[in-house]
Amino acid sequence: MTGHAEAPDAQAAREQAERFKQTYEAIRAEVGRMMVGQDEVVEGVLTALFAGGHVLLEGVPGLGKTMLVRSLGEAVHLAFSRIQFTPDMMPADIQGTQLLVETEGGGHELQFQEGPLVANLVLADEINRATPKTQSALLEAMQERQITVGRRTIKLDEPYCVMATQNPVEQEGTYPLPEAQLDRFLMKLLVGYPSERDYAEIVDRTTSGETVELKHVSSGADVIGLRKVVRGVPVPEEAKSYAIRLVIGTQPGSEYAPALVNENVSLGASPRGVQALLLVGKVKALLAGRFAVACDDVRAAAHDVLRHRVMINFQGQSDGVTPDRVVDAVLAAVPAPHGA
């Protein structure tokens, strides 16, 4: 009797995983008509969108970060806005402000003009050029899904996703993102240079005069529905335990911390790191056609989820220790639970 009762649930789970994978692949293929290469970055951005999180893209200018986010907005038919952050930008420049406008009768009235934060996909270009005051306005939108201007509070429409970029090389005139804001990003993706083959394809596409018109292959409603599918993926005890131990392993002085962490890390990942590992793991499980998170899914998510949550101390910086190297050490030191 038990087997007969579970069969419909298993069938429904398989159908949900298949529907998720089909939608994901359709969006990725459509974005790929505009983007050349950067497959891992495209997959990471899509993962963040379906997991309901924000993503930080780090790479030098000219690698197609803006094109990627704009293409995603076209493929999913979402409202897109781009903010070019500068040191003199004020919170009102991104939130919106009250303007005095003339009415038909010749009078004047105050009207609220929405800022670029009011969209579905927000590209925050060179986020580390914004002052802490403006960064805090962005933080409210990311965390609370709302903006507050004076006494006015505006709820932001779902799906809502901030995709921020920062230049890893040019540091003059920049303000490092505080740990509290970094922690709000589900993932940090490193955008590298294209391969030689990709360079050739980029040149062919951009110098031929042909234009690519992207189609709407999904919608905001689809994304919201599939986010519920992601949240519904079960997490076995072994995978949850493994994610918790990996995060504890990034914290100096903890039971699972390797020597590299104890000597070179000043601050490890917070409980948000566990949440992020399992959310990203759920997406990876669905893409593999499974409806349960495995320890391999958690392991595969570790670098993108933890690299921006690990703060290297002065000793580590002087020795050239990187967050990715710390994550490598933790993965090597913390074994997956037996039988996982």
Q: Which of 308, 329, 312, 332 is nearest to 321 (CA)?
A: 312
Half-sphere exposure of 330 (CA within 13 A, CB side): 35
Q: Is CATH 1.10.8.80 the right assignment for the domain spanning 233-340?
A: yes
Q: Which of 307, 298, 291 is nearest to 334 (CA)?
A: 298
Tens of pLDDT, residue by residue over 186-237, are 999 998 877 777 777 777 777 766 677 788 899 999 999 999 999 999 999 9
pLDDT at 333 over 50: yes
Continuous H helices in 90-129: 91-95
Topology of domain 16-232, per CATH?
Rossmann fold (3.40.50)
Handedness of CA 69, 195, 20, 337 (dihedral sign): negative
Cβ-contact 194, 37 below 8 angstroms: yes
| For the chain, domain boundaries | 16-232, 233-340
DSSP 1: -
pTM of the predicted model, to two decimals? 0.88
Give whole-number Cα distances, 339 to 260, 290, 295, in Å.
27, 18, 10
Tens of pLDDT, residue by residue over 132-153, are 888 888 888 998 999 888 788 8
> Which residues have a Cβ under 8 Å from the Cβ of 136 and sit 6 or more positions away?
91
> Which residues have a Cβ under 8 Å from the Cβ of 335 and sit 6 or more positions away?
none
